[in-house]
Every structure is written in structure tokens, then in C-alpha cells.
Amino acid sequence: MSTELKVQVAIIGGGVAGLWLLNRLNQAGYDTILLEKNALGGGQTLASQGIIHGGLKYALDGNLSPASSAIAAMPDRWRACLQGDGELDLQGCKVLSSHYYMWSSGSFRSRLKAFLGSKALRGRIDALKPVQYPDFFQNTGQHKVEGTVYQLTDFVVDTPSLLETLAAPWRDRLFQCRDLQLTHNDSGTELTLDTGDAYVTLQATRVILCAGEGNEALLNGWEHPHTVNPPAMQRRPLHMVTVKVPHPAPPYLHCIGDSFGMTPRLTLTAHPCKESSDAQWIWYLGGELAESGMKRDEQSQQAFARQELQTLFPWIDFSQAVWSSFLINRAEPQVSDQQRPDNAYVEACGPLLICWPTKLTLCPNLGDSVIDMLDAQSLIGHDDSRNTLQTLSELLPTPDVAPSPWEALR
């Protein structure tokens, strides 16, 4: 059986980037569907820490880098969406912490980096008095909290609820397809979808690749007679650690260390612990710990993380903590010397738009770029898509939201 269908825009990849664009484009009048290979958010999105940040860690040397300047406006745009006043309505998304914090320990270099960052981001960071410290730094017994705690404009969202909120308005345009092939013809891009029982030929005027690390395989062998080669991808590998710990106050903070690098010594978030009677939170550890952790095996990485936490937070009992760790790759467009890209990335390659948001916080920036690019291309009017939606709904399931990485490990 073979079926031929048409759609104006097909997005491949159901992480936060693809779902964000699905909402923006349909609201802007573009007839758009989304195809996901497995489950929503199962790549980078649910492996992220959910931080909507304003560029602090790119300003710890006291300078406003292009990256910190590009990200500066993102928290306000996200907050508008969460209040129902932004470009998307995210009122259904749960916020885990309305503020994020930065803590410099008592060491000179740590205090200096935090001070320089606070000066560079004047107006977006406030030094707190001890009585204003978050609950995590209260009730520390005989242990005094050294250094300074700063409150940032950043905040933390619950990524599963973010995905659910983005998916809800357009579930009739979300399809799970475990295998597809891209080819080019005179009418645009042709997607051959393997539904198991049938091959479906889908003609799309534009295809947007938002598959993260999966973009590389989709672009393998892609050729178009009127375009240059598609952009190359780079991977930024990380060794993340999770800790299930019976402590009532969740931590949301950057711990600034003594290294000369700009990456925080430790970046901590906490996420609800499901189906557990002995712990309320899963602590999720990133930052320099995750970057340098690529040199350590799982056992060594977990032991190092435990030592770091016990050193930083001696008032917390980790004797009953449960540790795990796993590797993830952050997919990015290739940049010289493996530097971090400054903005969300989108490049037109014939009828393809190839995207890497690079960071969760930059999704509004990605949406702006894609909308501007499509508007400039003056796409022709589209056919009635009811037949396409009806046929695909009969042949392909709707993808669910993937479990968080620490849930998948159980």
C-alpha cells in the first residue's frame, strides 16, 4: 500500500524545539505537522536541567559576551508565556523554582568570579542577606554558610509538564514514525514514512529538522542541486549525576568554584521524585562536574560527586542517598575550536531548515528566526490538510512524553 499526502511544513523531532515551532508556526498560519521517532523529549530536552537562564555563566569573567547578551532577554519572554501573555500560552507548565541562585564559597577566586559576574549583569542579580537565603541554606546546624548567595532572574521549569503543555493544543498534528527517509524532487521535499503496514509518501514544501543529535543521520546523503552542503554538527558530551536524597529543601543553584574556567563548579536542580516514600526530590548535577566527568567511569563519577556534595554541603546527610549517572550528548552546529554557539541556530538548505536551539532557554529566539525565514521565503498557499491529518492519524500513533532519564534507569 502506498499513499501520497501533502503538507506545507513538516517538523522532524519532538523535543522542546520542535514542539515550540509547531505551536509558533500553526499560530502564524503555517500548515504544520510534527513527526517524532520515539517519545516526546526523549533526547536532549528531558536530559536538560530545565533552567531558563539569562547568561550568568558566560559573564563570570566580568564581560558581557555575545552569548550572555543574546540570552539576557529570554527569562522575561518565558515568564510572559507562563503568565499567558507571551507568544505561546504556557500556563499549564509547572515552575519548580521561581528563582535560581548563585553561591560563591569563601575562597578568593570563587568570590572574585561571582563578584565580576554580578557587576557584568547589574540589574539581573542581587546579593542576598542570610535571612533572605533560600530554604536550602537554612537550618544548617553548626555549619555556617560561607561566601555570598545571589538571586538571579533565572528560574527552573518542570520539563515533562512543559512538553505536555506544548503538545496539548496540537495533538492531532503529532505523529510517531520510527523510520523515515528524506529525498528531494522538483516540488519540494519528499518524506517516505514507514508505518509498518504501509509506506506513506508525504510531500512537504518545507521540512524543519529539530531532531538534535538525530539531525546528523537525517542529513547523511542529503543532496540538493541548488544549495551548498548542509551544516556539520558537533557533540558536547556530559556525564550527568542524579542523587535521590531524603532532604526536604530542593537546591537550585550554581556553585562557583576556584577553576579559571567560566563553567560553574556545580549546577544543581531538583526534580520531583515519583513513586518514592523515602525521598521527595531527585537532585540533578551538571556544570564542571558533568564536563570533567567524561574522564571518569560511572563508579568514579558518582564517588567524585558524593565527595563534592559532602564538601560543599556538610550539613546534609548523604548516608541514605541513592546515586546514578549517565552520559548525554548536547548536539550543536559545528563551531571552530568546539566553542559554544551564541544563539539558536537555523540554516536554510534548499527546502530544509536545519535547527539546533543549543539551549532550552533559547527556544523563543529559535521561533523568531524560523518565522522570519519562512515569511521571507513567501511560501505558496497550502492545500486543505484534513485528508493528510486523517490518513496519518489512522496509520501512525500519537507519541507520548518520554520518562525522565533517572526514571528510565529504574
Query: Which tens digits make up the pLDDT trace of 84-122?
Result: 999 999 999 999 999 999 898 755 444 444 544 454 445
* Mean pLDDT on 332-353: 80
Query: What pLDDT does residue 1 have?
Result: 47
Give the pairing of strands 101-104 and 2-12. unpaired
pLDDT value of residue 342: 67
pLDDT given for residue 256 in this prediction: 85
Lowest mean pLDDT among 148-162, 176-190, 308-322: 176-190
End-to-end CA distance of the chain: 40
The mean pLDDT of 307-324, rounded to a whole number, is 94
| 127 or 315, greater pLDDT | 315
335-345 mean pLDDT: 71
- Neighbour-count burial for 29-56, b at 16+ CB within 10 Å, e otherwise: ebbbbbbbbebbbbbbbbbbbbbbbbbb
Beta bridge partners of 245: 281
Q: Which string of DSSP letters, residue by residue, matches 171-195?
A: GGGEEE-S-EEEEEETTEEEEEEE-
The more confident residue out of 124 and 272 is: 272
Q: Which CATH class is domain 2-45+161-232+339-408?
A: alpha beta
Cβ pair 222, 390 in contact under 8 A: no
| 122-136, 194-208, 284-298, 321-335: segment of lowest average pLDDT | 122-136
Q: Collapsing DSSP states into helix, strand and coil, what is residue 23?
A: helix
pLDDT at 393: 94
CATH, range 64-157+234-331: 3.30.9
User: C-alpha grid cell for residue 266?
Assistant: 556545580
Give 277 or 407, the one with higher predicted confidence.
407
Q: Where are the domains of the chain?
A: 2-45+161-232+339-408, 64-157+234-331
Residue 34, φ and ψ in degrees, nearest 5: -130, 135
Report yes or no on whether pTM surpasses 0.85: yes
Predicted local distance difference test score (pLDDT) of residue 259: 57
Structure confidence at residue 302 as a pLDDT band (50, 70, 90): very high
What's residue 146's pLDDT? 85
- The mean pLDDT value for 143-158 works out to 90
Give the residue from 201, 273, 28, 310 showing the smallest Cα distance to 20: 28
Dihedral (Cα; 222, 357, 32, 224), 10-degree rounding: -20
In whole numbers, what is the pLDDT of the chain averaged over residues? Answer: 86
pLDDT at 66 over 60: no
pLDDT at 62: 46
Measured CA to CA, the distance from residue 236 to residue 318 in angstroms comes to 30
Q: What is the pLDDT of residues 11-51, one digit of tens each?
A: 999 999 999 999 999 999 999 999 999 999 998 999 999 99
Calpha distance 56→266 (Å, rounded): 14
Which grid coordinates are listed for 300? 568514579
Q: Do residues 36 and 13 make contact, with C-beta atoms less than 8 angstroms apart?
A: yes
